[in-house]
Amino acid sequence: MTPVLVLDLSGGELRLGLTSALKPYCETNCWARSWPKGGQWAFGREVSEHFSYRIFRPTRRGLLLDLAQQRQILLRVLQRAQLERKAAEMAVLAVLAPLTPEVVVQEVVVMLEGLGFLECTCIESSCVALKSLGLGQALRSSRHPSPCCTVLQLGFSGLFAQPTIEGKAIGSAGRRSPVGGRVLTNLLLETLKLRHFDLRHAWLVVQDILEATCYVPMESDEAKREPSAVTYVLPDLRRGSRGFVAAAKEEKGVEEKKEKEEKEEAQKLILGLERLMPEALFRPQDYGIPCAGVTELVVSAVRAVPEELWRPHLGRVVLCGGLARLEGLLPRLQRELRKELPEEWPVELLQEEEPEWSVWRGVVVSVWGNWVERMQPDLEGLKDIKLFNDRLTFHRNLGPCSKCSLAGFVLSRMSLPGAVQHALHAEGLWSNEGSGEIASAPAEEIVSSPDAPVPKPKADAPVPGPKAAAGPTLTRARTKRPQHGALPVPGVKMCEVRMAGLVTGGWSIESLQKLKMVPVWMVFGKRSTLGPPSCRIRLHVAPLHSKRSNGDVPNRSKMSEQCQSSDAPRVSFPMGSPTSARPHGLANSRLDSPSAVSTSGSGARQVRKTWTCRASAGSVQRGRKRAEIIVEGGGGHRRCSEGCPEVGGVWVFLWMCPTGDVGDSTDQDFLEFSEVSWSSPHANSRL
């Protein structure tokens, strides 16, 4: 397996490490020129070895904009990190700030490719931290277990509050504030300039002062009272480039006389009110910054969640980012949120030991997860279905034919992503009529692999049993036929339509292939309310062929002939066909053509070719929340013994997927399906 380098291109620090590493290698993401002018350039860690410099950063407000300089920094940092592999042997997964525009993402990919990496992909950091093992543990042992939580990133470039459900971002509710570590350090710098020294040319020293001495008062009134003074000894040429808090050292009892003398000579800062600078996180207006404080940010993100039922669960806030280490921040935020949110909503704040690494660690776990998923495809696992808040309601309607199975499903009130995390197994959906509950159902047995050769049926061969009938790609031995009942839609007959899976994010094409489903067709649609679209909807439809009444197994070429006939199964997408021009309302979105989609064996391609797609009247308009997808179709026509036509069945997969195939954390936005219905009108024409 290709080693993956996880590279967090944050505003404050560069963090990188192979997925096998326990912690990342970190360096400041900056470059500097020694001051006064004409001095040397320094990159990353080298900057702190200088005593007077002008500092620059490749990011602006968290967005990576100066890629030429970022490349220079990266080149040096990669050298110093001493990774076991060369760039050409590794894939790189870059983590970017939430809401990074697509154009920037593309440029970052180009920049990384230029560094010689085997493969490059970018993901956003909005809620990937939740995957970090430490946070996962904290969430599991939470006092208020629920699939919802709000991820609050307290970083260098700003704050970002992202409500999530089942680990997926509710994109439209994300809220950002520019007041982060950079602003706090600049405010401290200004104060120090007035009261003590001008440290403009030693910016990293001011950041160190902030980290070592500042804290968040428990009450905002406290910010007016002078806290206990702390002495910070500035670095000098003899002792190195880092200062220290004198009081702490004295407490430990520094015995050596020489060191005391040195300290007396050293330049010191006696910090009082300056220590309360992080108050600006809660009340930026008091410091002349017209934006929301951290409490308002979280409350506004929670209130922006479209689904009211989810909101009460979002008082569970997961903190990540370096600023979460600020002394007193957690209890203060807890107290303020308690005041702001309704009484009956639980409020709980969670963080792990090294919150600044949560994002990096979360990405590493995502990569592992992806591998595990690829390595251990297990259809049985799909039976572990979890529903939240009963959001899915299934209505079962069954057809009249005693031999041919028929089922139509109406999936209503389905909100994506987050309503369902696990795939839904088709048989499981058929047990409790209309109740929305899913009971365990007899498993279908997969009897052949996608790449298995198609056996040639012999003319005089005995009719094989269910297992022996195993042959082409999607042959399954069914252990149970669904019951029959009233027709759901007039004209829908003799077809078996199954909703096989609904997965919200994180499922790669490869993993589906391993599950022996052939992705036949895909459609991608995007909507954007928060800048460039970053989410795709994919619709997979795979025919499910069963053996014929005479025991023959339809071979692929016959299947394709049948499918090309006039009554061939159709898949229609209100959003437009993948091959057609971009559908209305999605002018700026990326619509991948089927050729861009990887397929499994030749069978998959063959089947896919035979399916037709047509655009229908519906369209997804920019900014609109609702869209409807109608799937009509079936596959592998055959006649059952009574002479009525039967469509083998259709497996339909609907799932949300982030822009890249890696990870499932970057859903920024999504379409909501108000209703999804299946029917197969062409089946009638064969009667």
Ligand X SMILES: Nc1ncnc2c1ncn2[C@@H]1O[C@H](COP(=O)(O)OP(=O)(O)OP(=O)(O)O)[C@@H](O)[C@H]1O
Which positions lie near ligand X, rule CB under 6 A? 10-13, 62, 97, 155-157, 180-181, 207, 210-211, 321-323, 325-326, 356
Judged by CB, which is closer to ligand X: 214, or 305? 214
Judged by CB, which is closer to ligand X: 209, or 535? 209
- Nearest distance from residue 325's CB to ligand X, in Å? 4
- Nearest distance from residue 45's CB to ligand X, in Å? 14
Q: How far apart are CA 67 and CA 109, in angstroms?
A: 10
- Give yes or no for a contact between 408 and 377, defined as CB atoms under 8 angstroms apart: no
Question: Residues 99, 101, 104, CA angle at the centre, nearest 5°?
Answer: 125
Judged by CB, which is closer to ligand X: 181, or 501? 181
- Nearest distance from residue 228's CB to ligand X, in Å? 18
- Nearest distance from residue 10's CB to ligand X, in Å? 3
Judged by CB, which is closer to ligand X: 210, or 382? 210
Helix H or strand E segment including 486: none
- Nearest distance from residue 155's CB to ligand X, in Å? 2
Residue 232 gets the label, from left (phi > 0), alpha (psi -120 to 50) or beta, of beta
Residue 658 CB contacts under 8 Å (≥ 6 apart), including other chains: 123, 505, 506, 534, 535, 536, 664, 665, 666, 667
Judged by CB, which is closer to ligand X: 156, or 524? 156
- Nearest distance from residue 356's CB to ligand X, in Å? 4
Judged by CB, which is closer to ligand X: 278, or 635? 278
Judged by CB, which is closer to ligand X: 262, or 327? 327
CB-nearest residue to ligand X: 181
Residue 2 gets the label, from left (phi > 0), alpha (psi -120 to 50) or beta, of beta
- Nearest distance from residue 305's CB to ligand X, in Å? 23
Judged by CB, which is closer to ligand X: 17, or 569? 17
Dihedral of alpha carbons 256, 257, 263, 265, sign: negative
Judged by CB, which is closer to ligand X: 62, or 532? 62
Rg (CA), the chain: 30
Name the one residue in this structure whose structure tokens are 């909100």: 415
- Nearest distance from residue 96's CB to ligand X, in Å? 9
Q: How far apart are CA 147 and CA 420, in angstroms?
A: 10
- Nearest distance from residue 300's CB to ligand X, in Å? 19
* Token pair belonging to 511: 């993993």
Judged by CB, which is closer to ligand X: 357, or 388? 357
Name the one residue in this structure whose structure tokens are 């590279």: 7
Cβ-in-10-Å burial (0-12, 13-18, 19+) of 587 comes to exposed
Residue 163 CB contacts under 8 Å (≥ 6 apart), including other chains: 148, 149, 150, 151, 169, 170, 173, 174, 301, 302, 304, 305, 310, 314
Q: How far apart are CA 664 and CA 200, in angstroms?
A: 41
* 3 state SS of 501: strand
Q: Around 582, how many Cα atoms within 13 Å sit in the side-chain half-sphere?
A: 15
Judged by CB, which is closer to ligand X: 293, or 645? 293
Q: How far apart are CA 353 and CA 22, in angstroms?
A: 14
- Nearest distance from residue 210's CB to ligand X, in Å? 5
Nearest to 10 by CA among 87, 98, 116, 75: 98
Judged by CB, which is closer to ligand X: 183, or 607? 183
Q: How far apart are CA 235 and CA 527, in angstroms?
A: 52
- Nearest distance from residue 208's CB to ligand X, in Å? 8
- Give yes or no for a contact between 314 and 148, defined as CB atoms under 8 angstroms apart: yes
* Token pair belonging to 123: 């993901």
- Nearest distance from residue 174's CB to ligand X, in Å? 14
Dihedral of alpha carbons 96, 21, 362, 320, sign: negative
DSSP symbols for 545-590: ----TTS----HHHHHHHHHSTT--EEEETT--SSSSPPTT-TTS-
Q: How far apart are CA 106 and CA 122, in angstroms?
A: 9
Q: How far apart are CA 481 and CA 487, in angstroms?
A: 16
- Give yes or no for a contact between 23 and 17, defined as CB atoms under 8 angstroms apart: yes
Pairing of strands 4-9, 91-96: parallel
Tell me which DSSP letter residue 144 carries: S
- Nearest distance from residue 156's CB to ligand X, in Å? 3
- Nearest distance from residue 54's CB to ligand X, in Å? 19
> Measured in Å, how far apart are the chain's first and last C-alpha atoms?
52
Judged by CB, which is closer to ligand X: 11, or 217? 11
- Nearest distance from residue 212's CB to ligand X, in Å? 8
Judged by CB, which is closer to ligand X: 154, or 424? 154
- Nearest distance from residue 61's CB to ligand X, in Å? 9
Pairing of strands 637-639, 348-350: unpaired
Judged by CB, which is closer to ligand X: 326, or 647? 326
Judged by CB, which is closer to ligand X: 46, or 496? 46
DSSP symbols for 376-417: ---GGGGG---BSTT--EEEEEE-S-SSS--EEEEEEEE-TT
